[in-house]
């Protein structure tokens, strides 16, 4: 459920720019045919409904997934909007508020998204119940209608004309209407039917019910309802005389009904912004061909620039390049011999490698035995053994290890490499292996990084908290070690987990484990 909620959140965030762009186009495109404005809102609907992320090199949306799908499982959760200034402001707040602490039994980010998902479902249910209730009340009111034509019904209990129904829509009109008013009102309602507005409006409300938490989606729905009426009015009045326009406006004004609540149904004759509709009818002139063409081109540009996102792989590569460039720009443009080691390593200069930090295949039997014992304990959920091997094993890590053990069949194909750490008796250890999950038929490649130290008794331990405890000099050593050419060469030797497997297996598994942890916490409480 949380993964679905994150997907909805990503859609809600990325569609916001598209909605704002359409609002701007509407504001400046007064002469744009209103049916084209409705097409623009269709792009919003497509983006919110279609699960596929459309990509384009012309897109102005930096990332289609600003919230990573695995954010609730991260120990240091971060968003990746593709806008560095936004990430720099938001990520420190997220890290400070949602990073799990040692004594915390469950990741606060999981609680946040679980609670958010429940609130989202409740809000969606309220919206759908409201729509269903409104529909049933209107159906009850028109139940005593009299059929006067193939799709037209007359009713004593209504004061406004409207279309009700989606599969078999019917036009309902008040029995008190004059013959003159009836002619124009039926023209209007049948224009709605020819444009399938009786489908678009409920679909818009259904989408709004899913994205109810985004204020821009409410604005989009309100403007859609207005544009539907504007487009219908234009369809009715484009081929009538000026005097008939005046008569149509009079009938519209006389039959307008004030409405203060947003509704999913029905499509009503005088239900939306009558003052602006009359102004639009009076000022309407059939647009020149070039205006229509330009409007369609604007519609296409808005769709390409704001309804698509940039290629995520390309964005990631660009960020890597920018990081390397930023590191290089921080250094003075000096001759090769005077450049910093970091700059030279980022530039791929292997002569800057430090032989003492070369990543080598581990031959130390003590480290090999320690790693094998560590993974055996992980696979079996042996918490007591792991407690003796960790510097500090948090309660959350214990629960997660136990839960994961239920899914792990075995670890295999170990390849262990190490570099000397910043102090005597410390090692930076890389483990390349495979893990066979019970729910998946193939072994999945893994790569793990460990900071291992030797205690006063000569025993090895894993320090999971090195990121929080390392001094500036220790981090300098670890950072420099990670940049060594030998590290990159070793990584290239081993297969990495592909995106499809990650999405289908690992994320799904993480979600199941998160649910198991929640159940365990609730049982203990």
| Per-residue confidence (pLDDT) for residue 320, from 0 to 100 | 44
Per-residue pLDDT tens for 349-361? 788 888 999 999 9
Percent of the chain with pLDDT over 70: 83
* pLDDT, average across residues 420-446: 91
* Domain residue spans of the chain: 2-306, 355-524
Integer-rounded Cα Rg, in Å, for the chain is 32
Topology at the third CATH level for domain 355-524: Nuclear Transport Factor 2; Chain: A, (3.10.450)
Determine the pLDDT at residue 338: 56
Please tell me the predicted confidence (pLDDT) of residue 469: 77
3-state secondary structure 116-176: HHHHHHHHHHHHHHHHHHHHHHHHHHCCCCEECCCCEEEECCCCCCEEECCCCCEEEEECC
Q: What is the pLDDT of residue 161?
A: 86
| pLDDT 10s digits, 130-160 | 989 988 988 888 888 888 888 899 998 888 8
pLDDT recorded at residue 319? 45
Q: What is the pLDDT of residues 198-253, one digit of tens each?
A: 899 999 999 999 999 999 999 999 999 889 988 998 888 887 877 888 888 888 88
Say what the pLDDT of residue 370 is: 94
pLDDT at 105: 46
| pTM over the 0.85 mark | no
Q: What is the pLDDT of residue 179?
A: 84
Does the pLDDT value for residue 297 go beyond 50?
A: yes
Rounded Cα gap, residues 269 and 271, in angstroms: 6
Q: What would the pLDDT profile of 165-188 be if each residue is shown by its tens digit?
A: 888 889 998 888 888 888 888 888
Mean pLDDT, the chain, whole residue set: 82
Render pLDDT for 400-409 as a digit per residue (tens, 0 to 9).
888 889 899 9
Rounded-to-10 torsion of CA 319, 320, 322, 323: 120
Q: Is the pLDDT of residue 343 over 80?
A: no
Instruction: State residue 97's pLDDT score.
Output: 60
pLDDT of res. 51: 78
Of 439, 436, 440, 466, give the one whose Cα is nearest residue 451: 466
Please state, for a pLDDT cut of 90, what percent of the chain lies above it: 25
Q: How confident is the model at residue 336 (pLDDT cuts 50, 70, 90)?
A: very low
Q: What mean pLDDT is predicted for residues 263-279?
A: 71
What pLDDT does residue 313 have?
A: 46
Distance separating alpha carbons of residues 354 and 486, to the nearest angstrom? 10
Q: Phi/psi zone of residue 273: left (φ > 0), alpha (ψ -120 to 50 degrees), beta? A: left
Q: Give the β-pairing of 170-174 and 152-155.
A: parallel
Contacts with 109 (C-beta within 8 Å, 6 or more apart), sequence order: 71, 72, 74, 77, 98, 100
Q: Is the pLDDT of residue 48 over 50?
A: yes
pLDDT score of 84: 61
pLDDT band at 107 (very low <50, low <70, confident <90, very high): low
pLDDT in tens, 309-334: 876 544 444 444 444 454 445 444 44
Q: Which residue has the tokens 């000022």?
A: 283
Q: For 120-134, 268-282, 287-301, 480-494, which range has the lowest pLDDT when averaged over its residues?
A: 268-282
Please compute the mean of the pLDDT values over residues 266-295 and round it to a whole number. Answer: 78
Q: Which two tokens stand for residue 175?
A: 């029995």
Report the C-alpha gap between 232 and 453 in whole angstroms: 75
pLDDT higher at 278 or 204: 204
Q: How confident is the model at residue 269 (pLDDT cuts 50, 70, 90)?
A: low
Q: Are 366 and 455 in contact (CB under 8 A)?
A: no
């Amino acid at each position: 459920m949380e993964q679905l909620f994150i997907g909805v959140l990503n859609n809600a965030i990325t569609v916001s720019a598209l909605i704002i762009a359409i609002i701007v186009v509407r504001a400046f495109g007064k002469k744009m045919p209103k049916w084209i404005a409705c097409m623009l809102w269709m792009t919003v609907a497509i983006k919110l409904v279609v699960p596929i992320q459309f990509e384009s090199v012309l897109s102005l949306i930096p990332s289609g997934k600003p919230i990573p799908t695995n954010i609730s499982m991260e120990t240091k959760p971060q968003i990746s909007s593709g806008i560095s200034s936004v990430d720099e402001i938001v990520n420190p707040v997220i890290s400070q508020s949602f990073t799990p602490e040692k004594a915390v039994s469950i990741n606060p980010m999981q609680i946040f998204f679980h609670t958010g998902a429940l609130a989202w479902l409740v809000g969606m249910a309220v919206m759908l119940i409201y729509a269903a209730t409104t529909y049933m009340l209107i159906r009850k009111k028109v139940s005593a209608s009299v059929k006067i034509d193939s799709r037209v019904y007359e009713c004593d209990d209504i004061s406004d004309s409207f279309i009700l129904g989606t599969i078999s829509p019917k036009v309902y009109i008040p029995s008190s209407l004059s013959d003159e008013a009836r002619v124009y009102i039926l023209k209007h309602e049948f224009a709605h039917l020819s444009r399938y507005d009786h489908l678009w409006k409920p679909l818009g409300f259904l989408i709004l019910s899913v994205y109810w938490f985004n204020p821009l989606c409410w604005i989009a729905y309100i403007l859609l309802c207005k544009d539907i009426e504007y487009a219908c009015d234009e369809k009715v009045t484009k081929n009538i005389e000026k005097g008939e326009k005046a008569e149509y406006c009079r009938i519209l004004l006389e039959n307008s009904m004030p409405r203060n609540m947003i509704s999913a149904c029905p499509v009503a004759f005088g239900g939306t912004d009558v003052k602006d509709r009359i102004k639009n009818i009076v000022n309407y002139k059939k647009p020149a061909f070039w205006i229509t063409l330009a409007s369609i081109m604007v519609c296409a540009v808005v769709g390409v620039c704001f309804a698509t996102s940039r290629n995520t792989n390309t964005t990631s590569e660009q960020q890597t390049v920018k990081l390397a460039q930023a590191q290089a720009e921080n250094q003075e443009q000096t001759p090769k011999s005077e450049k910093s080691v970091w700059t030279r390593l980022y530039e791929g200069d292997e002569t800057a490698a430090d032989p003492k930090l070369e990543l080598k295949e581990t031959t130390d039997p003590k480290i090999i035995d320690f790693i094998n014992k560590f993974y055996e304990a992980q696979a079996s959920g042996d918490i007591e053994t792991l407690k003796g091997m960790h510097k500090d094993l948090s309660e959350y890590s214990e629960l997660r290890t136990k839960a994961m053990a239920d899914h792990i069949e075995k670890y295999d194909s170990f390849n262990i490499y190490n570099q000397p750490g910043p102090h005597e008796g410390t090692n930076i250890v890389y483990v390349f292996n495979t893990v066979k999950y019970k729910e998946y038929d193939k072994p999945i490649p893994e790569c793990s990084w460990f900071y291992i130290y030797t205690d006063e008794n000569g025993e090895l331990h894993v320090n999971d908290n090195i990121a929080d405890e390392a001094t500036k000099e220790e981090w300098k050593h670890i950072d420099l070690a990670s940049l060594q050419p030998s590290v990159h060469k070793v990584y290239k030797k081993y297969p990495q987990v592909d995106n499809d497997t990650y999405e289908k297996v690992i994320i799904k598994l993480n979600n199941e484990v998160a649910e198991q942890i929640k159940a365990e916490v609730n049982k203990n409480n």
